[in-house]
Amino acid sequence: MPKDQDTARLEEQRTSGTPSGSWACDLYLSGEAAAQVSFASSLDPAIVNDGLKTSTGFRELADGTGVADGSRRAVLKCGTKDVYFGVRWDSVYPRTLKDTYRSGQAFRDVFRAFVDAAGKQHGCPAVQFPSG
């Protein structure tokens, strides 16, 4: 097997909460990478509020579907509700993505795939995250 295909394998997955409220999933990878990545979503007004949406780094998405902070946090307008989506990488996971995909788009692609999949549960629109 080529080295880049053996870089990271899912070893353990832990989830908490429910997709209809606040939800989190931690993925622990084994192999050469031994990395961790965490995904979260929430409808909780204590999390999804104007303070978050106007915090440093958030910008309006060009298509008007919400706000995003690069390729790690977003608040989307999903019907009548706002939904928070976030991803957190440990210090190893970014190196794994860069080694495997050799592309600056890897983080955005992983985040977009998560938002697209989780967003369907909330009736969220498809989103175009800005480049860079």
Query: Rounded to the nearest 10 degrees, what angle do helices 106-120 and 93-101 cross at?
Result: 110
pLDDT of residue 1: 35
Residues β-bridged to residue 37: 27, 89
pLDDT per residue rounded down to tens, the chain (132 residues): 344 444 556 565 666 766 667 888 887 777 666 777 889 999 988 889 888 888 888 899 888 889 998 778 999 999 899 999 999 887 666 666 665 555 557 777 888 888 998 999 889 988 887 765
Number of H helices and E strands in the chain, helices first, is 3, 7
Helix or strand holding residue 88 (H, E): strand 81-89
Which runs of consecutive H residues, i.e. helices, occur in the chain?
50-53, 93-101, 106-120
